[in-house]
Structure 1
């Protein structure tokens, strides 16, 4: 098969490959944004607001907070300011409840 016949054979697949490439780039960008520490912190802030407004039960709040904090810890190395955020959040929650998890 020559070069021209190979190009002519694969030409109808070009739009499919182009769409697939664009979809891959969009998926990568969405994954980066979803795992971005700033985005996770913003979601934690919204979660706190919803809890304080009474839109969430304590159990729902703790479950979602734990999931978000786990995501944040996976993205940020230990010893960074975000790693300290989890300790501060738990300390604040413990202080509000009058308990300690240490």
Structure 2
């Protein structure tokens, strides 16, 4: 292969789990679904209630389209348990486990 140069290109993989200050997001293995989990605190008089709710987007040619409806979870861990059982989010769960290991 005279005159050709071999170039080593490292593949860059986008994480499927990303933490945010108010929650985190997971992306499906094929990148077509994104679920954002957000923490909310509601004050009812002197009582404080915490919960986590989801927003879901589907990737279309024109960009991300928000899906109507939301799910509510009492904790982040409750959401993780639901996603852990979904085979469309296996890479997100591997990224989550790696994230937990490194904190």
Q: Same fold (TM over 0.5)?
A: no
Q: Which structure: greater strand fraction?
A: 2
TM-score by length of 1: 0.30
Structure whose residues are more often helix by fraction: 1
User: Larger Rg: 1 or 2?
Assistant: 1
Using the size of structure 2 for normalisation, the TM-score is 0.30
The answer to which structure, 1 or 2, has the higher relative contact order (CA under 8 A, 6+ apart) is: 2
